[in-house]
Structure 1
Amino acid sequence: MKRKHLLTALLACGSFMVHAQDKAKPEDTEVWEPVPKVVTPGKITFDNAPSDAIILFDGKNLNEWVSVADRTKPAGWDVKDNVMTVNKSAGNIETKRAFSNYQLHIEWRIPANITGSGQARGNSGLFLASIGKGDGGYELQILDSYNNKTYVNGMAGSIYKQFIPLANPARKPGEWQTYDIIWTAPVFNGDGSLQSPARVTVFFNGILVQNNTSLLGPTQYIGKPSYAQAHGASPIKLQAHGDKSEPISFRNIWIREL
């Protein structure tokens, strides 16, 4: 092929790729099958954190948290009766401290009077490593998944838009749910290339739903994830999602660095 024709072909290909990216939609990365089996979880109680744990929320204050939009400002969520509840106007919050590898325990509750359906039903997210402002990072989905149909890589226990949970042990709205997580942070080479991906194990209400899963990169709402940005230790983030459903609540959050 002559050089002029080759250049024309390359330009046309580049134009097609840009045009295709412009047309990408959130639905492109939604997966609806197979639907994880429903499992009824047993009773789980964690009255006390381990002796070496860092207490991220003990029901008294948000001293371990800050605003994602402005880390110089305190977290603006509501604390009452040993529970913190999302304040959507205050936006996302994240930990003051940054973490690499860890064990995390967190309890969350969908309001008993929740309305809506699909993704607009108690939507929030636990970002296992927060990257930048907004919703950047690696998201473990929080959602009412009790008799609530949605795409399965967006249900509770999923690594959002990446990996569906192995089972669906969700409790009814109004009941407390637990995540117990082992997080292994990604490692990058000196030139910013990926040395080893992030991995996560998740127990949802005591049921294994992610088994040492290797992540494809930080969460992407539109398009496929990739490790485009090298980073080190990162805060943990909780999402104040913009849907119209009632805000969810959290309690008893602790972490052990590994």
Structure 2
Amino acid sequence: MKMLFALGAVLLLSADPAPLFDGKTLTGWTTSTGKPVTTGWEVQDGTLHRAMRGGDILTEKEYASFDLSFEWKIAPGVNSGLKYHYGKYGQKTLGIEYQLVDAGQKADNQGKHAPGSIYDLFAADPKVLPKPAGEWNTSRIIVNGKKITHLLNGKKTAEVTMGSDEWKAALAKSKFKDAEDFGTKPGKILLQDHGGEVWFRNLKLTELTPKEGQ
């Protein structure tokens, strides 16, 4: 079934939301080399749990415009992230990152590494804070054509249009400055193994058809 819904002044046509994680298996996820996930990540009480070192995991499918919602919680002191439009840019494999980090950790780089930020590019709204380590948060990423919006627990943390002057200026100051066309291509979704425990559940993605010109 198709659905019409409004996002600001833009009308979007979408299919029904699809789960990226079925709550029971790691079907649909691979290692960075495209192999089945056999270590590091597990299904635990309906959650996708990074339990020990095993490397990042990725969706089998690539996505362009989408509305992704997910819940996450993190162990004390841990840093992680969810990347999207993940793929080859120049000589590197990279993606735009929604930063996930323990709220008790001191944010660095003027908030560009804070929870809900567009990692290393745009700081998260400092008034929007995640729940403490060990508690569930709800996040949402909307990629509508070139426009990116990050939300945390129902509140917007960051927003930008790829290719805009604002985007170009931030990119030039970031660690991605040498990555040609960074973030602008469809790519996979990645859950980061950054060395600590993190849990995900209710990962649901709706593919979007942006209004012409977006």
Range of TM-score over shorter length: 0.7 to 0.9
Within the candidate set 72, 78, 81, 2:35 is matched to 72
Is residue 130 of structure 1 aligned with residue 130 of structure 2?
A: no
Q: 1:217 to 1:108 in 2, by over 3 A?
A: farther
Report Cα offsets for 1:163-219 as digits up to 9, x if no partner. Answer: 01123321111110011111145xxxxxxxxxxxx4311110111111345444998
Q: Paired residue for 2:102? A: 144
Report Cα offsets for 1:215-243 as digits up to 9, x if no partner. Answer: 4499899745355157742111111013x
Letter in 1 for 2:143: W
Which of the pair is proportionally richer in strand?
A: 2
Q: Paired residue for 1:58? A: 22
Structure with bigger gyration radius:
1
Within the candidate set 175, 178, 203, 1:253 is matched to 203
Segments of structure 2 that go 5 or more residues without pairing to the other structure are 1-13, 209-214
TM-score (norm 2): 0.75
| Aligned counterparts, 1:60-209, within 5 A | 60-68=24-32, 70-74=33-37, 76=39, 77-111=41-75, 114=76, 121-132=77-88, 136-145=94-103, 147-151=104-108, 152-166=111-125, 167-184=127-144, 198-209=146-157
TM-score (norm 1): 0.63
In structure 1, C-alpha distance between the alignment counterparts of 2:34 and 2:147, rounded to whole Å: 27
Segments of structure 1 that go 5 or more residues without pairing to the other structure are 1-49, 115-120, 186-197
Q: How many percent identity over aligned positions?
A: 28
Q: Which 4+ runs in 1 deviate beyond 2 A? A: 72-76, 132-135, 211-227, 229-233
Letter in 2 for 1:107: E
Secondary structure of the 2:188 match is coil
Is residue 238 of structure 1 aligned with residue 191 of structure 2?
A: yes
In structure 2, C-alpha distance between the alignment counterparts of 1:90 and 1:73, rounded to whole Å: 11
Secondary structure of the 2:20 match is strand
In structure 2, C-alpha distance between the alignment counterparts of 1:199 and 1:183, rounded to whole Å: 6
> How many residues matched?
184
Q: What do you get for the CA RMSD once the two structures are aligned? A: 3.0
Contact 1:138 1:218 in 2 (8 A): no
Which of the pair is proportionally richer in helix?
A: 1
Contact 1:218 1:226 in 2 (8 A): no
